[in-house]
Structure formats: structure tokens, C-alpha cells
Amino acid sequence: MKKAIKPSLVIAIIVFGLFFIISSFKQASPPPKVAEHPDIDEVPARVYGVIEPAGREVFVSPPMTKRVIEIYADEGALVKVGQPLCVLENSVEQEQVALALAKVSLAQKSLELSADELKRAAKLYKKRVDTEYKYTQAKLENELELKRLKVANHELDVAKARLEQTILRSPIDGVVYKFDVRLGETLSAGDNDRIILGASGLWARLYVESFWKDKVKTGLQCKVTDSETQEYLGTGTVVNRALYMGRRDFRTEDSQERFDTKFQEVIVALQPEKNQIPVGLLVIAEFSQ
């Protein structure tokens, strides 16, 4: 009887041990729950963008590489159309204007002399004292001097235009947002990031990804914050949406890896809570339900 009981106990202990081990594993490693995808209609739209002057920036650059000899503007200054911002070295251009003025003066005197000669030749021809040939020659000489005066005046206009190019003027009524210019330094032709102007008001240009485009509609309001510090900057109202979908390249933490995504440009008129929000600041616009 004792011999029959021992195998049963062994089997029972083994079965119980296996059951205990399996239960322990199940409790220690429960199957992962499948994450539920959030309903995008219930999530506030968060869109990245950049602060710009209303109407975008206006870049001022010289048409030629020259040294700065005079400065009339500062960052933050209000300027009018045509107001000088700075003057480039222009001694050669001034000499060209002076030379062109001298040519005009000489041409005017020559024209006056030829006009007097034409009058005298006309009187003598009328009295049959001089021949028609001499009268015709005087007339042609007067016409030639008139053309020379026109050419001299044109050269003067060109010289003045070249001199005017050495004066960088404001093309708009607005604010000087950037003026990275120093007296005595050289400005290069086509250098567009040294002098930046714009309207006094600000807006935010948002890049709305395709899955948000139906949620960001004209007239909708949003909260605008600094994308880096999360500082609250003010509120905004959507005033314009582009009629096309563009593409932007994004880089990941790996400098060799990038991807592009479709986006729609949206303009938000900004009602700032603080002064001196810098143009070019990256922001986040949050559109609540």
C-alpha cells in the first residue's frame, strides 16, 4: 500500500509545481496591451511656424560691393519710403556726375552758338548774300548740336542714377527689424541678410501638415507660444490659407537622415501679449476644439 502511494505523491507534486510556475510567469509577464490610436478630431491641433512682419520681410542690399561711409538708420527705427538708410563710398560716381554736368554745359553753349549762326545764315540767305548750301550747313550744325545736348543730358541722368545707387533707401513705410551695418565696413552686392525691413504689425506663418489642414480654417483663433521656451506670446486669428500643398524637408537627430512632408501655408494675424517679439522666432500655434 505504501509503495502505491509514493508515485501518486510524486505526480501530484510535479503537477502542482508546473501549475505554480506557469501561473507565476503569467502574472509576471502579462501580454502587452495594444495602444489605442487617439481620435484626431478630439486632439487640439498644434502647428509650428515662424514670426514675420505682416506682408513678409523686405530685404535691402546694394547693387555693387562698396564701403559704408554714412549711416542714418538703427534697428527698431520707423522709416518712410525713400528715407536714406546708409551711404556707400561714391567719390567716383560724384566725379562722373560733375563730368556729365560739364559736358551738358559745353553742349548748351555750343547749341547757343550754332543757333546764332543759323539765324545769321538765314538772314544772309534770305537777302541772297549767302548760298543755300551755307544756310543748310548751319541748319544741320544746329540740329547736330541739339542732339549732342540730348546725349549729354542722358549721360548726366545715367551718372546721377549711378550715384543714387550708392544711397540705400527704404522701399517701404515700416520698421527696421535688422540693421547689421557698421561704418567703414564693406557691404557686398546681393547680401540680403544685413538690412531687413517690414511692416510694423506681425503675423505668424504656419506650416500646417496635411492631417491638420481641415481643422485650421479661416477665422479660427489660436494660442501662440515660443516653440523653445513655451512662453505665451499672445493669440492669433487665421486670415489666409494657401491654395496649394507644398513640401518641406525635415531632419532627424541623425544628420544623414531626413524626410519630407506635405504642408499648407497658413497666415495668422498676431495679437501679441508682449512687446518686441523678434522676427524669425519659431512658434507653436495651438487650435483648441
pLDDT tens digits for 235-288?
999 999 998 888 765 555 555 555 567 889 999 999 998 778 899 999 999 998
Vertex 128 angle, CA 122 and 129, to 5°: 85
Segment 173-187, tens digit of pLDDT: 999 999 999 999 999
Contact in structure between 68 and 85 (CB atoms under 8 Å)? no
CATH of domain 40-55+199-289: 2.40.30.170
How much of the chain, in percent, has pLDDT values that exceed 90?
A: 64
Q: Indicate the domain borders of the chain.
A: 40-55+199-289, 57-82+172-198, 91-165
Q: How much is the pLDDT for 138?
A: 93
The radius of gyration of the chain's CA atoms, rounded to the nearest angstrom, is 40
- Own/partner pairs for 155-164, CB < 8 Å, 24+ apart? 155/100, 155/103, 156/97, 156/100, 156/101, 156/103, 156/104, 158/100, 159/93, 159/96, 159/97, 159/99, 159/100, 160/97, 160/100, 162/93, 162/96, 163/90, 163/93, 163/94, 163/96, 163/97
Inter-CA distances, 44 with 47, 216, 284, Å: 10, 10, 12
pLDDT in tens, 78-137: 999 999 999 999 999 999 999 999 999 999 999 999 999 999 999 998 888 888 899 899
Alpha helices in the chain (DSSP H): 2-28, 91-126, 132-164
CA dihedral sign of residues 114, 120, 123, 127 = negative
Mean pLDDT of the chain: 86
Multiple choice CATH, 57-82+172-198, 3.30.1390.10, 3.40.50.11740, 2.40.50.100, 1.10.3720.10: 2.40.50.100
CA 111, CA 221: separation in Å to the nearest integer? 71
Query: CATH assignment of 91-165?
Result: 1.10.287
Burial class of residue 84 (count of CB atoms within 10 Å of its CB; 0-12, 13-18, 19+): middle
Residue-level pLDDT at 136 = 92
Is 245 in contact with 262 (CB distance < 8 Å)? yes
Q: What is the pTM of this model?
A: 0.71
pLDDT bin (cut points 50, 70, 90) of residue 148 is very high
Q: Identify which has the larger pLDDT, 259 or 62.
A: 62
Half-sphere exposure of 149 (CA within 13 A, CB side): 17
